[in-house]
Amino acid sequence: MAFPIPITLGSRRKRRPLGPVGTAILGALLALGGLAALVLGVVYPLLRERAARSWEQVPCTIVTSELRSSTRKGHTKYRPAITFRYEYAGATYTSNDFALTGWETSGGSSARDIVANHNPGSAAKCFVDPTDPTDAVMVRDIEPIWLPLVLSLVFLGGGTFLLVRVATGAIATVKPD
């Protein structure tokens, strides 16, 4: 037996129920946001990593290597900023894409280790997209994508739940007193 649950917005003193239309709009926005996050934060990086498995490994030379940091809301993130030069199909290219995705860490030690192991002038290996030789990375594995996966599924699930509740009539039209 389904119980009608009014969903309300507003302050605690004066609550107005959303009603079925408002709940459907909220559910659709949550579901679309979850779907967009799933595609952009999970599916696209996985497809890019899969495509990068066929990229050609070529020797490259480190041009610059430094540790960069950024602080947001009191949390500092570190990332290696490495520029490298490589040759492919008779042409010389330069890239500063260390990894397929934005590689950051909250602990600076791993980023420091990467920078320390990639001194300017040293030889390294990089991976080049044969269909677009301007696209090259040093690391073609992606970072764990658990957080985007969980968040996108929560939003997608919550939005779908609200839409199903509206479609089944569980969200009743609330009549003003």
**Residue 176 pairs with which residues in a beta bridge?**
none
74-108: b (≥16 Cβ within 10 Å) or e? eeebbbbebbbebebeeeebebebbbbbebeeeee
d(CA 58, CA 125): 6
pLDDT tens-digit series, residues 34-55: 999 988 888 888 888 888 899 9
The per-type count for the chain, helices as H runs and strands as E runs, is: 4, 7
Domain check: are 74 and 103 in the same one? yes
Q: Is residue 5 part of a domain?
A: no
CB 88 within 8 A of CB 58: yes
The model's pTM is 0.66
Averaged pLDDT, 74-89: 90
Domain check: are 74 and 130 in the same one? yes
Domain check: are 164 and 131 in the same one? no
pLDDT tens-digit series, residues 87-137: 999 999 999 988 887 666 666 678 888 888 899 999 999 999 999 999 999
pLDDT at residue 174 is higher than 60:
no
* Domain range for 157: 19-53+143-177
Q: Is residue 123 part of a domain?
A: yes
